[in-house]
Structure 1
Amino acid sequence: MLMARRGKRGVRRSVWTGVPRWARICTVFGTVLLMLSGAVLVGYEALLSRYEGAVGRGDLFGDKAAGAQERRNDIKGPLNILLVGVDPRKPTDAPLADSIMIMHLPAELDRAYLFSMPRDLRVEIPAFPKSGYDGGPDRLNAAMSYGSRVPGRNPDQNTGFELLAKTLQKETGIARFDAGAIINFSGFLKIVDAMGGVEMYVEREVKSEHRKPDGTHRELRPGGGGYLGPQAVYPKGTHRLEGWQALDYVRQRYPKNGVPDGDYGRQRHQQQFVKAMVNQAFSADVVTNPIKLDRVLRAAGQSLVFSGRGNSISDFAFALKGIRPDSITLVKLPAEGIGTGSGYRGERFLPEADDFFASLRNGTVDAFMLEHPDFRNTTK
């Protein structure tokens, strides 16, 4: 049963009672695919244990120096959580951050703001002795690649994440990330299929660059220059997408395919996808079906590498029990391109983005968003 009350500043807060333990873990997965919650844990210890065991754990922030043990702390707000999506590559290939999202939760931990950082953002990447990188200006997604190149072994996505986190702290002024995860986007296919699909609103017709209507890959044009064959089409409106369709849709970023704002459109669609998965995770079709839920959680666990900096996913689930789908605000940050055509060098934030980051640091993000409604990323 869901009950609601008014909290500080008139913000609507949620208290959940009588919802089983596995429902919270479902929400833990659904909100940011790792730790946000909307239910009270009261049972199903075996399912929880199986999920915890399936999630990969990594030292994503360099906390375990010289074998030191992370010290567990009470989880208190405000919190900043870093989520990085990658596509699987060969073990010898350095990873690149395909999607970079930050979840900010104010002190009350009953609402959240989710925003994307442009992959092409021009930043100053700090020196990183672990990989021998000397530091310098580059695009943001390159930080993960530079950090991963630890001498003497295959590229390490965990150390790549560490350098990316340090770069983002420098760029945003966020002093510390409280948790983080590397999310295998291709694993979303199995997760969505385990849920029976995900319902999404497609804001305008989009045509796939990479897939045919039956889901098979389109052939490369001889000599390069694009693909051949019919394209999968996602008409405007609300649709239930299979795993391959959802992943394909959120990858599209070219105006010729129906995404006129390019990578910003892709960022928006990825945020909408995360929120759609939250809603699906809350659906009765999932939370009242232990067999389906078990499949979903195991698929989610296999798609994640997580660091709670001394706290587990379940610890975060308990701390963030007030979060539910309608308490997540999607944020778009104003930016512009540097150069055009062959002279394109990447993206840079407009000054208003710095004001948003300042509001995160000083605890005034609610007021900032009220004063800047154009920062809300629209979704149906």
Structure 2
Amino acid sequence: MLLAGLAVVGLRVLTARYERTITREQLLDPTARAGRTDLDGPLNYLLVGSDRRPGDTGPQQRTDTILIVHVPAGLREGYLVSVPRDLLVTIPPGGGYPGGEDKINTAYEYGGGGQAGARLLSATLTKLTGIRFDGAALVDFAGLRSVIDLLGGVNMCVRTEVRSIHTNRVFHPGCQQMNGAQALDFVRQRYDLPGGDYDRQTNQQQLLGAMLERAGQTDLRSNPVQLHRLIRAVGGSLTLDTNGVPVEDLLLALRGLSKDALRGVQVPSYPQTIDQVSYVVLDNGSDGLFEAVRGSRMPQWAGAHQRWVTRL
């Protein structure tokens, strides 16, 4: 989504020059990959966020953020569907893992992290939802700190006072400018929030929208040094699978997206304790959501289920 924002400031010529800064890998399992390579829409992309850098082979790698980015035909609006990290799912065999039931954020770990972990996670999502993806991105959210700082910070709206369990920083209600460290700290919090992880999902969606908005506001053309640093920082935080589509074509196709055209969506679900372990399980409304994302009726679903939809 940030790359789409950068496209607004005219990166057609620069894309070829900086494309080499982005790591390319096959992040999608063959069962999870869409068979087409056109950009007519509707399009579905998998966005996986972690505090660890892509390719890190350290132990206990789990994904903090799992987003399905749905862009209906016309490519003028987008829906950021947050998948709860504690969602109880059936994980298929892969990466040496024999398969079984567990929280969805363990699929990346069981797959071994990196490319293999993303593949097992994508296969798990497709098995659950029936959605096949037009591409995927593995995002080092900790690495986005410098991206936010180079953008001059982002405007974030805090709905409920929350104290960080990581830094002891207190975030007071109201809209406020945050630098990279503050914004990333804020969107990691969930324990003091009334909605717990659901509120954290909304805050993560808000951050992506705020970055997109800030990228569109910043006249990077007048500061080529900052532009150079920003693109390198973005590239250093991303591992991409574009399904064979050139990055330049993807940028140009999504250039019409803006923060005002984005909606955050939560998967209809509820918390449940099973064998003394806290999970999130799907409720009956999730089937309609996944069907809408697979097809072309997402705007209609969002209009009929506003409880689960947030304007960013």
| TM-score, normalisation: structure 2 | 0.91
Q: Partner residue of 2:43?
A: 79
Which amino acid counterpart does residue 283 of structure 2 have in structure 1? L
Q: Partner residue of 2:174?
A: 237
Q: Choose the corresponding residue for 2:104, options 135, 140, 156.
A: 140
Q: Deviations over 1:261-297 (max 9, x none)?
A: 1111111110001101111111135454333222222
Q: Is the 8 A contact 2:16 2:248 kept in 1?
A: no
Q: Choose the corresponding residue for 1:172, options 129, 132, 150.
A: 129
Q: Aligned pair in 2 of structure 1 residues 72, 177: CA closer, same or farther (>3 Å)?
A: closer
1:201 aligned onto 2:201: no
- Shift of residue 367 of structure 1? 1.2
Q: Partner residue of 2:207?
A: 273
What aligned pairs does 1:181-196 form with structure 2 within 5 A after superposition?
Answer: 181-196=137-152
Larger deviation, residues 351-360 vs 331-340: 331-340
Q: Is the 8 A contact 2:9 2:220 kept in 1?
A: no
Q: Partner residue of 1:227?
A: none
Q: Is the 8 A contact 1:188 1:303 kept in 2?
A: yes
Distance in 2 between residues matched to 1:38 and 1:60, nearest whole Å: 23
Q: Partner residue of 2:297?
A: 364
1:127 aligned onto 2:93: yes
Which amino acid counterpart does residue 48 of structure 1 have in structure 2? T
Distance in 1 between residues matched to 2:199 and 2:264, nearest whole Å: 13
Distance in 1 between residues matched to 2:221 and 2:188, nearest whole Å: 28
What aligned pairs does 1:327-342 form with structure 2 within 5 A after superposition?
Answer: 327-339=261-273
Q: Partner residue of 1:96?
A: 62
Q: Partner residue of 1:163?
A: 120
1:112 aligned onto 2:91: no
Q: Partner residue of 2:281?
A: 348
Q: Is the 8 A contact 1:253 1:266 kept in 2?
A: yes
Secondary structure of the residue aligned to 2:281 is: strand
Q: Is the 8 A contact 2:263 2:311 kept in 1?
A: no
Distance in 1 between residues matched to 2:37 and 2:10, nearest whole Å: 20
Distance in 2 between residues matched to 1:361 and 1:94, nearest whole Å: 32
1:56 aligned onto 2:23: yes
Q: Is the 8 A contact 1:281 1:287 kept in 2?
A: no
Larger Rg: 1
| TM-score, normalisation: structure 1 | 0.75
Unpaired runs of 5+ in structure 1?
1-31, 64-70, 149-155, 212-230
Q: Aligned pair in 2 of structure 1 residues 73, 370: CA closer, same or farther (>3 Å)?
A: closer
Q: Is the 8 A contact 1:103 1:115 kept in 2?
A: yes
- Shift of residue 37 of structure 1? 6.8
Unpaired runs of 5+ in structure 2?
none
Secondary structure of the residue aligned to 1:339 is: strand
Q: Is the 8 A contact 1:336 1:347 kept in 2?
A: yes
**TM-align CA RMSD:** 2.2
Q: Is the 8 A contact 1:125 1:137 kept in 2?
A: yes
Distance in 2 between residues matched to 1:346 and 1:232, nearest whole Å: 28
Distance in 1 between residues matched to 2:185 and 2:259, nearest whole Å: 23
1:317 aligned onto 2:247: no
Which amino acid counterpart does residue 92 of structure 2 have in structure 1? P
Q: Deviations over 1:147-202 (max 9, x none)?
A: 12xxxxxxx4101100100100111121x210101000110111111111111111
Residues paired across the two proteins, number: 306
The percentage of counterpart residues that share the same residue type is 39
Which amino acid counterpart does residue 249 of structure 1 have in structure 2? F
Which amino acid counterpart does residue 279 of structure 1 have in structure 2? E
Distance in 1 between residues matched to 2:4 and 2:164, nearest whole Å: 31
Which amino acid counterpart does residue 197 of structure 1 have in structure 2? G
Q: Partner residue of 2:8?
A: 39
